[in-house]
Amino acid sequence: MRRVAALTAVMVTGVALSCAPRLRPLPGAVAPATFPRTELPRGHQRAVFQWTLEDPDISARGEGAARSAWPDSVRLDFFVGGGMGSGAAILIGAQLRLPPTAPDLARRLIPPAPLLWAALGRLVVPPLPDTTARVDGDTLRADIGVPVAWRVTFVRDTLRRLERVDDGRVQEWVERGTRVRYRNEANRRQLELTVTRVDPTGAFDPFIWVFE
C-alpha cells in the first residue's frame, strides 16, 4: 500500500507540473541585474480591498484590509461576504504566519511569502546565485537562480510580476496592475484583489502582530 501511495503521489505531482506553462525565453537586450528599489511606504497605513477566490472546489468573495508598518511588516485580514467567516495572515520580513486554527479557506487565500510580498509591490525572494536580466523598452525582466527559480518583471521602477518557476515551468505568479492577481497553475486557484482605499494611520497596537 505504501508503494501504491508513493506512486500515486509521484503521478499527481507529474500531472501538476505538466499543467503549468513553460517559462518562455527572456526577450530584449542583455542588461545589468540591477533592480529598482522596492519598499513599503514609510510610516503606517491601512489599505481596504475587495477579493475574489476561484478554485476548482470553491468560489468565494469578500472584503479585507492590509495594515502595513515600514519597513517590513504587514497584517492582512480577510472577511468572507455574508459574514460566513474570516482569516488573517502576518508577514514580517520573509516569515509568513497564519493562526494555528486557520480554516482551509484562509490557507487557500494566502500565497507564499515571496508572492504575497510581490502583491504588495515589494521584491523579497530567497538569495540565489546567478541572475540574468534583459531590457525590452521600459520593461526589465530577470531570471533568478540556475536553474531558474524566479522571474521578476519591472515596468520602469514598479514591480509588475513575479513568477515562481520549477523544472522550467511557471507554477505560481502574481501580477500587479489596476488590480492584483495571484494564480497557482498546478491547482488552478486564482485570487484577485482590488484596492478601494488607502489611508495613512498612526502606529498600530503591537498585539496585531501576534496570534493568540
Q: How many alpha carbons lie under 13 Å from residue 128 in its C-beta half-sphere?
A: 17
Q: Considering the domain boundaries, does residue 73 fall inside one?
A: yes
Domain holding 188: CATH number? 2.50.20.10
Q: How confident is the model at residue 18 (pLDDT cuts 50, 70, 90)?
A: low
Reading the block at residue 184, the C-alpha cell is 497557482
Q: Considering the domain boundaries, does residue 130 fall inside one?
A: yes
Domain containing 178 equals 40-198
Residue 146 in this model has a pLDDT that exceeds 70? yes
Q: Considering the domain boundaries, does residue 175 fall inside one?
A: yes
Q: Identify which has the larger pLDDT, 103 or 113.
A: 113
Q: Considering the domain boundaries, does residue 55 fall inside one?
A: yes
Q: Considering the domain boundaries, does residue 26 fall inside one?
A: no
> What pLDDT, on a 0 to 100 scale, did the predictor assign at position 144?
97
If you average pLDDT over residues 122-144, what whole number do you get? Answer: 95
Q: Considering the domain boundaries, does residue 99 fall inside one?
A: yes
The mean pLDDT value of the chain amounts to: 90
Residue 1 in this model has a pLDDT that exceeds 60? no
* Spatial contact of 186 and 40, defined as CB atoms under 8 Å apart: no
Q: Considering the domain boundaries, does residue 193 fall inside one?
A: yes
Structural domain count of the chain:
1
Q: Considering the domain boundaries, does residue 207 fall inside one?
A: no
If you average pLDDT over residues 106-113, what whole number do you get? Answer: 85
